[in-house]
Chain A
Amino acid sequence: MAETPPPAPAASGGEPPLPPDGSRTDSILFLSFLKIAAVTVGGGYAILAAAREEFTVRRRWLTEDEFTEMVTVVVTVPGLIAVNAAIYLGWKLRRLPGALAAAFGALLPSVTVIMLIAAGLSSLTDFLNSPWVQGAFKGILCGIIAMIGLTAFKMGKNNLKTVFDWVVALLCLAGIAAWHWNPALLVAAAIAAGVVKVLVRRRKLS
């Protein structure tokens, strides 16, 4: 009706509008990924769930759909899922400077902590193996299970719409968790199945 729609239309369901682009700076990207990498144990998928908390839930820089799209890209491209996510998000929001800032933030905690451990602080290794630290590690994993659980629930609610979706999701779950297949093969098979599905639907329509 209105000839010029507002640049950031208010989201439905009483959600606050997205923040202006000016608030998305390289330094926030750097600090956010530094924070995520410093507190999240468990690697790629844990870090993706943490990134969803930070960028979708808290900062509202990404919609749930954009988050899912990011996950599809970063698990397909070779390399580390967490680093790919940092580069993807940085690139999406701020191009190369953003990608560098986010990736550097994701790198810094690992590099610092591991260098200290590798530098022969054997007392640190004993400390890491103590029951208190092992307990704390399991405790953090409980928090991460909750975080990934919420992420999976949201992704499922938005993306499991057809029998095809359920079959692909369950096969990928069982392929990794029960049959220990190579994830690269599952990715290739899922893409092939998706392309076939799109082509079949197109032929039916025409």
Chain B
Amino acid sequence: MTLTPLALYCHFLVYGLLCFGGGYMLVPFITADLVRGGFLSEASFANLSSIAQITPGPIGLNTATYVGFIQSGFWGSLAATLGLVTPAFLMVAAAFKLLKKYEDTPFVKGFLAGMKPASLGFTCAALLIFAGMSLFTAQLPLGAWLRGEFTGVGVRFLAIPLILLAGVLLRKTKIPFPLVLIICAVCGAFLLR
């Protein structure tokens, strides 16, 4: 069973509307809707998750492009991707205008007061997740640690100088960040294999 580009557009339009919390949150939608609906096999979805992680670009977009392509080729890819992005245009523009218009209301002030520290917390959580994929050999079992169960994870010690090098290059030199990332990739290919 496959979906036409138009159907793909509509499916991903709904995901784009409902998917709070970024691209990772797309996975439960696709599992519930497309895998259980019989449009996508478990195996190709598992394959997709690993590809979407390692290829550059937003993970949700990689996912949409891949699913769209398996379903109906080039136009399927395009339809799925555009479907996912369409609601964002309306909502981001609306958010932008509403924040400006109601700047002085307690709701907008409260939104900023609460979400500024919250988004910092999310950013730090992302930092830990990325550390679990490179600096450590597994995700840190923070939940267990907070319950007082201490289990260790392996550390890739060669990653430490690489992180520090990247930090110094970004902070102290004028080398643009894409070049820093490429330097990191080359070092990693030799050191972190």
Binding site for B on A (CB under 8 A): 35, 37-50, 53-54, 58, 68-69, 71-84, 87-88, 91-92, 96, 99, 103, 106-107, 109-111, 113-115, 117-119, 125, 128, 131-152, 155-156, 159-160, 164-166, 168-180, 182-184, 186-187, 190-199, 202
* B96, A91: Cβ atoms closer than 8 Å: yes
Among candidates B19, B107, B133, residue contacting A141 with C-beta atoms closer than 8 Å: B133
Q: For the complex, would chain B's binding face be called helix, strand, loop or mixed by DSSP majority?
A: helix
Known interface pairs A110-B57, A194-B115. Does A58 touch B142 (Cβ–Cβ under 8 Å)?
no
Known interface pairs A187-B118, A190-B117. Does A80 touch B181 (Cβ–Cβ under 8 Å)?
no
* B166, A87: Cβ atoms closer than 8 Å: no
Q: For the complex, would chain A's binding face be called helix, strand, loop or mixed by DSSP majority?
A: helix
Taken together as a complex, chains A and B put the C-alpha atoms of A103 and B56 apart, in Å, by 15
| B97 CB to nearest chain A CB (Å) | 9
Q: Which residue of B lies closest to A173 (CB)?
A: B121
- A-B contacts, 15 of them at CB < 8 A, read A39-B182, A44-B59, A45-B126, A75-B22, A77-B95, A79-B87, A80-B59, A87-B92, A111-B81, A118-B65, A159-B120, A168-B117, A177-B140, A187-B21, A198-B113
Among candidates B16, B93, B99, B181, residue contacting A39 with C-beta atoms closer than 8 Å: B181
Taken together as a complex, chains A and B put the C-alpha atoms of A96 and B96 apart, in Å, by 12
Among candidates A37, A140, A145, A150, residue contacting B57 with C-beta atoms closer than 8 Å: A37
| A125 CB to nearest chain B CB (Å) | 7
* A45, B56: Cβ atoms closer than 8 Å: no
- Closest CB pairs A-B (n = 3): A139-B188, A194-B114, A172-B121
* B92, A172: Cβ atoms closer than 8 Å: no
* B55, A114: Cβ atoms closer than 8 Å: yes
* A148, B81: Cβ atoms closer than 8 Å: no
* A76, B123: Cβ atoms closer than 8 Å: no
Q: Known A-B contacts: A77-B91, A136-B186, A142-B159. Give 4 more (CB < 8 A).
A: A113-B56, A139-B187, A176-B122, A183-B20
Binding site for A on B (CB under 8 A): 16-26, 47, 51-62, 65-66, 69-70, 74, 77-78, 81, 84-85, 87-89, 91-93, 95-96, 99, 106-107, 109-131, 133-135, 140, 142-143, 145-146, 156, 159, 162-164, 166-167, 170-171, 176-178, 180-193
* A149, B167: Cβ atoms closer than 8 Å: yes
Taken together as a complex, chains A and B put the C-alpha atoms of A63 and B43 apart, in Å, by 45
Chain A neighbourhood of B159, CB < 8 A: 138, 142
Taken together as a complex, chains A and B put the C-alpha atoms of A199 and B62 apart, in Å, by 42
* A72, B111: Cβ atoms closer than 8 Å: yes
Chain B neighbourhood of A199, CB < 8 A: 106, 110
* A150, B123: Cβ atoms closer than 8 Å: no
Chain A neighbourhood of B62, CB < 8 A: 110, 113-114
